Chain A
Amino acid sequence: DAGVIQSPRHEVTEMGQEVTLRCKPISGHNSLFWYRQTMMRGLELLIYFNNNVPIDDSGMPEDRFSAKMPNASFSTLKIQPSEPRDSAVYFCASSLLPEVHEQYFGPGTRLTVT
């Protein structure tokens, strides 16, 4: 079975550009999570969806970040405009609630904003 799929795997962009990260969760999972990982702050939860509905977006840094989940098999995380401090690895994970501890992570998107 396919795991969580993320694209692109690497993204290099210039400051001010729009960046869109994509995620396909594991089929049948009803929860989807977006995380950001940096050396300084570790793995931080940005937002999570349950049954395609955003449940907790308190981790979204600011208005430049937005996330959508139009259907059960697709989600996007958008940064507009991007800034150098957004450089990080962005992970998408999915799970079946209430077994939220068994989160399955995608391979991540390594974002570099110059």
Chain B
Amino acid sequence: RKEVEQDPGPFNVPEGATVAFNCTYSNSASQSFFWYRQDCRKEPKLLMSVYSSGNEDGRFTAQLNRASQYISLLIRDSKLSDSATYLCVVNIFSNTGFQKLVFGTGTRLLVSP
């Protein structure tokens, strides 16, 4: 089983729509969770962290369900500029005792006019 799994999509939505992505992770000891955004042929960039209580940043809402080991990202009022690949990221402790990030393969979002 992959450490982080995402639906690759693409999710095709019209402008103004609400869209949600889910992600599951396998390591129950994981402590930190994030969403990164990657534009076509660009580098990944941190979008937002995911907290147990859920958190919101403008049109974006992230939630964590530890019991079911999944993370979600909700985008409201989609914009054309939201078109990108969204990477689910889990922070785990490697066997060296240091933390490292494990990235999902990403969910592609296409927002059309």
Task: Find out whether the CB atom of A107 lies under 8 angstroms from the CB atom of B96.
Answer: no
- Chain B positions 9-44 with a Cβ under 8 Å from a chain A Cβ: 32, 34, 42-44
Within 8 Å CB of A28, what residues of B? Answer: none
Q: Is the interface of B mostly helix, strand, loop or mixed?
A: strand
Q: Shortest CB–CB separation between residue B68 and chain A, in angstroms?
A: 22
Task: Find out whether the CB atom of B32 lies under 8 angstroms from the CB atom of A58.
Answer: no
Select B99's contact among A41, A98, A107, beta carbons within 8 Å. A98
Task: Find out whether the CB atom of B87 lies under 8 angstroms from the CB atom of A43.
Answer: yes
Instruction: State whether A101 and B94 are in contact (beta carbons under 8 Å apart), knowing that A42-B103, A48-B100 are contacts in the complex.
Output: no
Chain A interface residue count, Cβ-Cβ cutoff 8 angstroms = 23
Bound-state CA distance A58–B105 (Å) is 19
**Quick one: CB contact mask for A85-114 with B, threshold 8 Å, 1 for yes?**
000000100000110111101111000000
Interface residues, chain B, CB within 8 Å of chain A?
A: 32, 34, 42-46, 49, 87, 89, 91, 94, 96, 98-106
Interface residues, chain A, CB within 8 Å of chain B?
A: 33, 35, 41-45, 48, 50, 55-56, 58, 91, 97-98, 100-103, 105-108
